[in-house]
Structure 1
């Protein structure tokens, strides 16, 4: 009898948010986003940060879905969403990415929605709040400063914490080549260095993030490159025009503002007169490290 053929190891399934459907929904300019949708009720859109996907919201989204329609896209250029080639500064401008979000919400039947973002997603959410005030009813931004304020705040040796911002701001070519040479080491550095509680990123989730980033180096770099140019220009124009966020705004921040020498709450208040600013004791990935605190803050925001 011939020996049995060894079984081929099964490929680990990509983690999902339980109870959520995965859909491909058109954004702006023909780009389609991968979107997880669950629950029912007043819509809430949750935007992920770097170097993650919509999966970072898995705990918060499951809670909010008890009484809200929760919409969790992968941003253009990330996760399973389309990754258009960078054809100009606008391809990955936060203005364009904000238009994606509004288009996705409308495709799902929602002209007005609450919006929360973390890190890169918070920059998209911020821009959506300025560009689409009739669509965004409430706004939450987690652990980030508006783009222009971020560039103005970073200086001296303290700016070393943002080395990746300067690397990915360079013209096309070198940053993509350097990162592509060791993508797991590059993206894994941030997953490790920015996490206060490593158990918050289980092995399957960490592997999913690394695989998604490994396949998206050019688009991730393009997203960051836009922040060093066109995104800062858009913020500068809004600041000069006196444009502000008119909706209730919640900002959740790690306790890193004072260490870097600036007042995060004051910087945010210049943009958001109706502001609730709270410090959360955890690492950068607060929706995974402190999901209870994040959910509580979002629920408080949604009743304002």
Structure 2
């Protein structure tokens, strides 16, 4: 017997056009308070927000898209290396929010979703009222601090940065082993990703190898170009920003607070004692941080 994939309890799925070339799967819950958009990371879907979203839906309209190329969202081809730029994916988020009637919204992203959130904050400051980033560095800083043997932890970044062909072939040959590696290695509490959720993540990733690779490839190409242009122009995140990160900054040899302070005027940086998937391992901490952010 085939069991249905898990979903966010109490949320309704919608198909909503993004900015260009993609229709997104979007789970929406709650109907009161200010709108809040939650963006998932790798190798996940909007299901990663199941604890956080249901808690916050009592106070907010909560919008949880699958990013383009992930989950049940469309996975358009990437002929020129820009289809999965964070600029294009951020434009999707703004388009989805507007389609649901929200010109302004708070934005929270984890991992890949945090990179999209950062780009949305830089490109669309009129739309993003508050921004939270979970366990990631801005793209440009990430590449600049990765060096020496410590960079081995990010081997997947270098693999998927290669030209089209080899990464897709290697990952596609054993996708469950590849994506499952990160679900295992980045989780301190295995119970935080139960078997049905893990199976849903693996199934979604297995069906999205080319688009996931294209997302990462963009982060070694066009996304760096966009970040460099913002750095040179002095473009910064002007809204209140909260950053939650694991205690990995000192181990990798950089000052995460200093790096973030170069991008954000109003920054709160918090170290969280859990694994990478903090919305699943420490949902109460994440919910508390979002509530604190929204009070600023």
Q: Give the TM-score of the pair, scaled to structure 1.
A: 0.97
The 3-state SS of whatever aligns with 1:233 is helix
State whether structure 2 residue 28 is matched by structure 1 residue 37: yes
Q: In the alignment, which of 10, 13, 16 is matched to residue 4 of structure 2?
A: 13
**Which residue in 2 is equivalent to 1:113?**
105
Per-residue deviation at 1:30?
3.6
Separation (CA, whole Å) in 2 of partners of 1:18 and 1:293: 20
State the superposition RMSD in angstroms.
0.5
The 3-state SS of whatever aligns with 1:96 is helix
Query: 1:145-224, aligned counterparts within 5 Å?
Result: 145-224=137-216
Q: Which runs of 4+ in 1 moved over 4 A?
A: none
State whether structure 2 residue 116 is matched by structure 1 residue 124: yes
Per-residue deviation at 1:296?
0.1
Query: 1:1-304, aligned counterparts within 5 Å?
Result: 10-40=1-31, 41-304=33-296
Separation (CA, whole Å) in 2 of partners of 1:30 and 1:76: 9
Per-residue deviation at 1:64?
0.4
1:128-179 deviations in Å (ceiling 9; x for gaps): 0000000000000000000000000000000000000000000000000000
Number of residues paired by the alignment?
A: 295
Separation (CA, whole Å) in 2 of partners of 1:270 and 1:251: 13
Per-residue deviation at 1:28?
1.2
Larger Rg: 1
1:89-145 deviations in Å (ceiling 9; x for gaps): 210000000000000000000000000000000000000000000000000000000
Separation (CA, whole Å) in 2 of partners of 1:273 and 1:281: 25
The 3-state SS of whatever aligns with 1:139 is strand
Per-residue deviation at 1:13?
0.9
The 3-state SS of whatever aligns with 1:274 is strand
Separation (CA, whole Å) in 2 of partners of 1:153 and 1:303: 32
1:235-280 deviations in Å (ceiling 9; x for gaps): 0000000000000000000000110000111100100010000000
Separation (CA, whole Å) in 1 of partners of 2:252 and 2:51: 30
The 3-state SS of whatever aligns with 2:239 is coil
Per-residue deviation at 1:291?
0.2
- Give the unaligned 5+ runs of structure 1: 1-9
Per-residue deviation at 1:60?
0.3
Per-residue deviation at 1:86?
0.8
1:23-80 deviations in Å (ceiling 9; x for gaps): 0001011410000000022100000000000000000000000010000000000000
